[in-house]
Amino acid sequence: MTAFASKFSKMDPTAPLPPKPFVLNIEAATLLTEGTLTLPPMSSVPCSFSSVSPPPKTASSEIRTIREIVMPPNVDSLYEWYATTQSNPDADASWAVLWPTAVSLTNRLLLEPTLVQGRTVIELGSGLGLCGLAAASLGAKSVVLTDRDPFALHCALSTAAVNKIPTDNGDGSIRGAILDWKDSSGADGLTGSADVILASDVLYDSEAIEAFAGVCRRIAHDGTILLVTDPKTERCEGARESFRKAMHSKSNNDDISKQEEVELEDLPIDMGSDGIFFSTPDGKDHGRRMKEPTVLLRYKF
């Protein structure tokens, strides 16, 4: 039994079928475009996953399957496009990778889809939007993907389109919104709207942690659940403690007495039986990177 299936069996031993973890088949990727004047290089990569079966009757929309991810072929080609076509050598091309933290958070949702089913979900720093897309496919009422890079959102919403996830703002739909945590005005239309906030690999910049926490507080309401995945070995030493303190700082008229401690949970590493599950698009040190242990931070407002 894999670590993923073992984790599931401990949570719900009566389930008829265990979920299957997210699988990204890099070997079968198809190049869509090498990039244009206005759009980055993009490829289509087959993928698959499954949640618990049968789905709960309380889901607000049908369970959809994500069969492909639209993403840059690799970090190098995306950076070259930024530097040459966009004349932006300072651009951050890291969103071209599906990081282990995004995969582990997606798998955590597969283990417990009721976390998002029937709820309004906002993903912060979504990049390729894997976690938000998974939430939409699992029956979220609606999903908003937010990122500071419009090209990342373009790829994420292209993935939604090819997998027939509605983008019409109705039930079961997904949409994108530009949001830079350091300029919280982008969250004006999202204030108090999130039932669930998702984020992965966002605690890497000590100067941005307070801003990230501020956006979380702004879009949350009483009862909102925040799920953040982070490498077990912090990218920025002391980041999780700084985040904990930031979430408990009194701002925006927060009632600190209602806030709970940030809870930590180790997430299982599952190499997958076919060796494809832990592949990465850029092909660089993928073995080390995708074996990286991750933890889940859970916080309830």
pLDDT one-digit tens code per residue, 244-256: 889 887 544 444 4
Residue 142 confidence (pLDDT) above 50:
yes
Max mean pLDDT among 123-137, 163-177, 246-260 falls in: 123-137
More confident residue, 205 or 18: 205
DSSP 8-state secondary structure symbol assigned to residue 189:
G
Distance (Å) of CA 33 to CA 8, 86, 91, 254: 39, 16, 20, 47
Cα–Cα distance measured from residue 257 to residue 225, given in angstroms and rounded to the nearest whole number: 16
- Candidate from 82-96, 159-173, 237-251 with smallest mean pLDDT: 237-251
pLDDT (mean) for 218-247: 92
In three-state secondary structure terms, 262 is: coil
Residues in contact with 164: Cβ distance below 8 Å, sequence separation at least 6, in sequence order:
64
Peptide bond into 150 cis (omega under 30): no
For residues 243 and 214, the answer to whether their CB atoms sit within 8 Å is no
Cα–Cα distance measured from residue 264 to residue 261, given in angstroms and rounded to the nearest whole number: 9
Burial 281-297 (b: 16+ CB within 10 A, else e): bbeeeeeeebeeebbbb
Q: What is the largest CA-CA distance in the chain?
A: 56
Residue 288 confidence (pLDDT) above 70:
no
Residue 16 confidence (pLDDT) above 60:
no
Predicted TM-score (pTM) of the model is 0.85
pLDDT (mean) for 204-222: 93
Looking at residue 19, what is its pLDDT? 67
pLDDT (mean) for 122-140: 95
Cα–Cα distance measured from residue 115 to residue 208, given in angstroms and rounded to the nearest whole number: 27
Model confidence at 25, in pLDDT bands (50, 70, 90)?
confident
Cα–Cα distance measured from residue 164 to residue 158, given in angstroms and rounded to the nearest whole number: 10
Query: Which runs of E-coded beta strand occur in the chain?
Result: 20-24, 30-33, 42-50, 68-71, 120-124, 142-147, 173-178, 194-200, 220-231, 263-266, 294-300
**Sole residue written with tokens 């699988």:** 23
Looking at residue 3, what is its pLDDT? 54
Looking at residue 235, what is its pLDDT? 87
Residue 153 confidence (pLDDT) above 90:
yes
Looking at residue 116, what is its pLDDT? 95
pLDDT (mean) for 150-166: 95
Give the number of other Cβ atoms within 10 Å of residue 156's Cβ: 26
For residues 113 and 137, the answer to whether their CB atoms sit within 8 Å is no
More confident residue, 289 or 146: 146
